[in-house]
Structure 1
Amino acid sequence: MKTIPVIRQIGHVALRTTDLDACIDQATQVMGLAISQQDDTGVYLTESEQHHSIHYIADDRNGLDHIGLEAYDEDALVEIRKRLEQENISFVTHADDEIYGDVISFIGPEDIAYQIYAGIPQSPSEGRQHHLFPARSQPGVRPKRFGHLTFLVSDADKMQSFVCDVLDFRISDVPPGGYFVRCNVDHHGLGIMGGFEKARLHHHAWEVRDIGELANIGDRVYEYGKTLTWGPVRHGVGNNIAAYFTDPTGCIVEYYCDMQLIYNDSDFVMREWKPEDWHSMWMPERPTGGRDFGVTTIHGS
């Protein structure tokens, strides 16, 4: 009997920011996200019917607060808690744990904080309308859904072992120096690249409907007074077409489409990649200093 993986999908990302107003403005005016909840401490934004996919928290520094993962169901949440206890992982509390009901929060390898829950509330009615009626006049290029996260870490092997052994992620590809792992049919939910001094989130990624929307986001970023940092480009690993720009925290935002889907784990065969191909199949160059972007985790030393 096949065992169902304990994680259903990547749920959200929570970022600390020194300029909350700028983050809200870009998220709504460029990305077309809707505010589902806001107070003096931060803002929750969504592209869909769920309460949020990104949470910006006002702070005196920019950084990664935590990432959210959605468990398959309540039984999966119980199993995750048991596995974490066997790994002697210490549980913590996040300020927004109450949103989810039953939730598991902890600090994992590389001082990356996790929040795992079996479900997330819906957004208020205006957020649902924002999702259901995409042709409505609105600023920004609203993505279809929140997709994946990519990390730069010191020890890629250790983080890969943790998310695969404890959280049931599966390896999709192994480019030089890292791993791309999946929790559902998407080629990757997490990218993990090793060899860096301190862990940081390099980018959070959002799926759009087609390559035309990648052109639209390029135009919208330009109208906003900024430029793309890279793309559009087709990656070898994952096969997705992507465009990248920065948010006010210094983290990269990826918009992508056409990602490889893996429906049958038993039939999937990992490919070997040349260093020049896994990044880009359309051009040999990568942007200079591209790995200097991102925000470090606020936890640990």
Structure 2
Amino acid sequence: AYLASTIDHHSVVLLKGGSDSARCVRIGFQLGIDDDIDAFEKQTAAHGIKTVRKKNPEPSIADMVSFEDPKGTVIEVFKRGELSQQKFSDKGIVPHKLGHGAFFVKDVKATTDFYCNVLGFRVSDWMGDFFSFLRCGTDHHTINLMRADGDRHFHTAFELRDWGHMLTACDHLSLRGYKLLWGPGRHGIGHNLFTYHRAPNGLITELFAQLDQMNEELGYFEPRPWAP
């Protein structure tokens, strides 16, 4: 099933798996209009990483380079074709966008280095030496990595418009039997409003708003260590 809440054809793809537990098996990152996917593929291969090139692999995806990150998640870097022309209803929460993914990893330093050196992410903040916050645009973080005893999904986060949208979303979920795991609250790192719920498949979903914006063209920024 291909799911979307904005003008993109899809932001989430649900696949029937063979195991009892749900998991995140792949993440997609869209290249900018002026970015060269051929150059990106050569750059990735130069790091000794095996890549797979796919033309028109999915609806609205014109070209894609895929490979695995150190924790075994498939990374799909793609160029978008034409935007979807379908209209979406206003039923449900309707998040503004898919904002970030968070993962537990055995080696947070090596995985952080991979995202920075291969994918061009930048470090926004660290908590101690065990929790990194990485960005690929102006959002404070697009990928979070936390040290753990194994590699697995932590949560997926969807951005809401504001505090009023978050209140409405919590009411909507509560009326349908989805209880809060944590929140509402405001994080220290990133300073965003948040709530956490558990989806029917067992995966944790965060809803957030008012995330810090890190536009380096506006001035100086230095990542700072946060105490655990």
Shared fold by TM > 0.5? Answer: yes
Question: Quick one: which of 220, 224, 227 aligns to 1:271?
Answer: 224
More strand by share: 2
Amino acid paired to 1:112 = T
- The structural deviation recorded for 1:56 is 0.5
Identical residues among aligned pairs (%): 30
Distance 2:175 2:53 in 1: 40
* Aligned residue in 2 for 1:46: 4
More helix by share: 1
- The structural deviation recorded for 1:121 is 4.1
* 2:66 paired with 1:105: yes
**Greater CA drift, 88-97 or 104-113:** 88-97
Distance 1:205 1:72 in 2: 22
Amino acid paired to 1:258 = Q
Distance 2:49 2:134 in 1: 21
CA shift in 2, pair 1:241/1:96, >3 Å: farther
CA shift in 2, pair 1:58/1:230, >3 Å: same
- The structural deviation recorded for 1:225 is 1.1
Distance 2:223 2:33 in 1: 29
Q: What stretches of structure 1 of length at least 5 have no aligned partner?
A: 1-42, 131-137, 276-301
CA shift in 2, pair 1:93/1:238, >3 Å: same
**Greater CA drift, 263-272 or 138-147:** 263-272
Q: Deviations over 1:179-231 (max 9, x none)?
A: 1011011100110111332x222111111111112111211111111201111
* Aligned residue in 2 for 1:87: 47
**Greater CA drift, 83-92 or 156-165:** 83-92
* Aligned residue in 2 for 1:77: 37
Distance 2:186 2:15 in 1: 33
**Greater CA drift, 56-65 or 201-210:** 56-65
Distance 2:75 2:55 in 1: 13
Q: What stretches of structure 2 of length at least 5 have no aligned partner?
A: none
- The structural deviation recorded for 1:54 is 0.5
Question: Contact between 1:92 and 1:107, CA under 8 Å: does it hold in 2?
Answer: no
RMSD: 2.0
CA shift in 2, pair 1:222/1:95, >3 Å: farther
* Aligned residue in 1 for 2:28: 68
* Aligned residue in 2 for 1:38: none
Question: Contact between 1:74 and 1:118, CA under 8 Å: does it hold in 2?
Answer: no
* 2:102 paired with 1:123: no
- The structural deviation recorded for 1:93 is 7.1
Question: Contact between 1:51 and 1:121, CA under 8 Å: does it hold in 2?
Answer: no
CA shift in 2, pair 1:63/1:93, >3 Å: farther
- The structural deviation recorded for 1:73 is 3.6
Question: Contact between 1:206 and 1:255, CA under 8 Å: does it hold in 2?
Answer: yes
Q: Secondary structure at the match of 1:219?
A: helix
Q: Secondary structure at the match of 1:51?
A: coil
TM-score when normalising by structure 1: 0.69
Q: Deviations over 1:46-102 (max 9, x none)?
A: 110110011101223222220000112464322221122112212247898243121
Question: Contact between 1:152 and 1:192, CA under 8 Å: does it hold in 2?
Answer: yes
Amino acid paired to 1:254 = E
Question: Contact between 2:163 and 2:209, CA under 8 Å: does it hold in 1?
Answer: yes
Distance 1:189 1:82 in 2: 24
Distance 1:139 1:267 in 2: 42
TM-score when normalising by structure 2: 0.90
* 2:183 paired with 1:231: yes
Q: Secondary structure at the match of 2:114?
A: helix
Amino acid paired to 2:25 = D
Which runs of structure 2 are paired with 1:290-301 in the superposition (5 Å)? none
* Aligned residue in 1 for 2:75: 114
Question: Contact between 2:41 and 2:51, CA under 8 Å: does it hold in 1?
Answer: no
Question: Contact between 1:71 and 1:116, CA under 8 Å: does it hold in 2?
Answer: yes
Amino acid paired to 1:192 = L
Which runs of structure 2 are paired with 1:103-252 in the superposition (5 Å)? 103-127=64-88, 130=89, 138-176=90-128, 177-197=130-150, 199-252=151-204
